[in-house]
Amino acid sequence: MSDRRVGRRGFLASGSAATLAALAGCTGVPGSSGGGGGSGDDTITLGILEDRSGNFALVGDPKHKASLLAIEEINQNGGIDGKQIEVFDPDPQSDNQRYQELTRRAIQQEQVDALWAGYSSATREAIRPIIDREDQLYFYTTQYEGGVCDKNVFAVGPTARQQLGSVLPYLREEYGPEIYTIAADYNFGQLSADWVKVLADENDAEVIGEEFIPLSNSQFGSTINRIQEADPDFVMSMLVGANHTSFYEQKASAGLDVPIGTSTAMAQGYEHLRLDPPAMANIYAGVNYMEEIPTERNTSDGGFVDRYYEKFPDAPYLNEEAENNYFSIYMYKAAVEQAGTTNQEEVKSALESGITYGAPEAPGEEEISLVPETHHVDHHMWVMRADENHNVEAVDDRVIPETFLKDTVGCDLTEEDEETQYTPQDFYEEAG
């Protein structure tokens, strides 16, 4: 089958390759190269850049492991269209500059057919210009603030509107309308806090206090006092990283027992396993996946969890982003088989045809679908609650479509190529 690229980069590359070949007088088999994979026709190379050291190692390591699991499974079952998958997976060490270097290397030297890279929004934004310049097919799998409408980016993690949109309405019903927001003081936290305001407005609730906390801060005495002073019905917490995790231990030891909704705790850094109970008691996480979600595909014998720990017996946890890496590699496989080529433009078109997959997060026979217009996923979202012994159980679940880009912004990547990130301030008065 033909592997020739028709994208801008592919066109230039194959053009110059053909010229060179002609000049040198040695013509290879037509169409045998240029499809990426570096090592020829019968393999596919995937770039997996995930942090195994540095700040994000705790959350990045499971992403790396789950990617390897998906790739091993696919290879054992005959590969993608008969081609085995090879991996380019150096450790970016949570360093954005290293990410930029490795992304260039993955695209230009290793010629990866598709790239998975990065945990934080800052990393994504650091490498997105490179990805767009090279028209590289790219999967970003972390749950994030939302709004990226980019023809090359498939942001398959749930967005703030999906995560907060599952847990906030639930807590509003259970506990009342007054919300206090605490969030990490950077792009992700600020935008998530704006989403809390928008969702509060839509759910007849009110944000009565808001505090942004620097990532380096690990002492929460005054924050706890301020929450007690405001006396909200529940807290929305978008704290991020190891320093902020100290909040949960400290609020427990200070006797603050208000319910907390979150898009960041437990599902990514498994705080319910790492901290001593009852630090995480009464914490509600709005997530598309946690190791504990009770679906057939996830927890049955030989299910996702079993397969993961069989390959990695010492792994500490199987987190939300790991599942996103896992199912998106299968979505990529489906797209390549549908397109009949690894040509990136054609694979993108195939992904835009409405690929679905029976991911571990979805119960029964349900499948989650990749939305063609926005490159986001209509996830099956879960509200997971931890009790005083840190047992986690599902209290609510349903499919929540990603409506912000599709309905509010009107992003349609099947019609128009874009490379923009939209924010809620552009569209909602409450967020301003």
Partner 1 sequence: MINGLNLLFQFLDSFAFVVLAAAGLAIIFGIMGVINLAHGEFIMLGAYATTLASVRLGLPLVAAMLVGMVVTALFGLLVERVIISGSIPNAIGQRVAGRDLMEPLYDRLADSMVATWGLSLIMVQGVRITLGNSLDQIGTPLGELAYGGFSYSMYRVVLSGVALGVLVLAYLVFTRTEFGMRARATIQDEDTARALGVDTERTYAATFVIGSGLAGLTGALYAPTVTMVPGLGGSFLVEAFVAVVVGGPSVVLGTALAGGFLGGINALVSNLLGTTAGRIALLVTAIVMIRFLPDGITGFVERVRARRQEGGA
Binding site for partner 1 (CB under 8 A): 53, 55, 57-58, 61, 185, 211-214, 216-226, 228-229, 231, 242-243, 245-246, 249-250, 252-256, 269, 273-277, 279, 316
Q: Which is nearer to partner 1, 320 or 345 (CB)?
A: 320
Query: Dihedral, CA atoms, 134, 139, 145, 150, nearest 10 degrees?
Result: 40
Q: How far is the CB of 251 from partner 1 (least distance, A)?
A: 9
CA 245 to centroid of chain Cα atoms: 20
Angstrom distance (rounded) from CA 73 to CA 273:
28
Q: Which is nearer to partner 1, 139 or 220 (CB)?
A: 220
CA geometry: angle at 199 spanning 197 and 202, to 5°? 115
Q: Which is nearer to partner 1, 182 or 409 (CB)?
A: 182
Q: What are phi and psi of 362, to 5 degrees?
A: -90, 135
Q: Which is nearer to partner 1, 18 or 242 (CB)?
A: 242
Q: What are phi and psi of 292, to 5 degrees?
A: -85, -5
Q: How far is the CB of 272 from partner 1 (least distance, A)?
A: 11
User: Which of 295, 250, 279, 319 is closest to 63 using CA atoms?
Assistant: 319
Q: How far is the CB of 283 from partner 1 (least distance, A)?
A: 15
User: Which of 319, 328, 327, 145 is closest to 238 using CA atoms?
Assistant: 145
Q: Which is nearer to partner 1, 4 or 274 (CB)?
A: 274
Angstrom distance (rounded) from CA 68 to CA 272:
25
Angstrom distance (rounded) from CA 202 to CA 181:
16
Q: Which is nearer to partner 1, 21 or 208 (CB)?
A: 208
For the chain, first and last CA: distance in Å?
A: 52
Do 340 and 1 touch, CB atoms closer than 8 A? Answer: yes
Q: How far is the CB of 57 from partner 1 (least distance, A)?
A: 5
Q: Which is nearer to partner 1, 80 or 191 (CB)?
A: 191
Q: Which is nearer to partner 1, 22 or 273 (CB)?
A: 273
Q: Which is nearer to partner 1, 228 or 414 (CB)?
A: 228
Q: How far is the CB of 64 from partner 1 (least distance, A)?
A: 12
Q: How far is the CB of 60 from partner 1 (least distance, A)?
A: 9
Do 368 and 327 touch, CB atoms closer than 8 A? Answer: yes
**Share in percent of the chain as helix, strand, coil (round to 5):** 40, 20, 40
Q: How far is the CB of 226 from partner 1 (least distance, A)?
A: 7
User: Which of 241, 248, 245, 259 is closest to 180 using CA atoms?
Assistant: 259
Q: How far is the CB of 3 from partner 1 (least distance, A)?
A: 39
Q: Which is nearer to partner 1, 103 or 181 (CB)?
A: 181
Angstrom distance (rounded) from CA 271 to CA 279:
9
Write b or e for each residue in 205-220: b if 16 or more Cβ atoms lie within 10 A of its Cβ, otherwise e: bebebbeebebebeeb
Q: How far is the CB of 216 from partner 1 (least distance, A)?
A: 6
Q: How far is the CB of 243 from partner 1 (least distance, A)?
A: 5
Query: Dihedral, CA atoms, 243, 248, 252, 258, nearest 10 degrees?
Result: 140
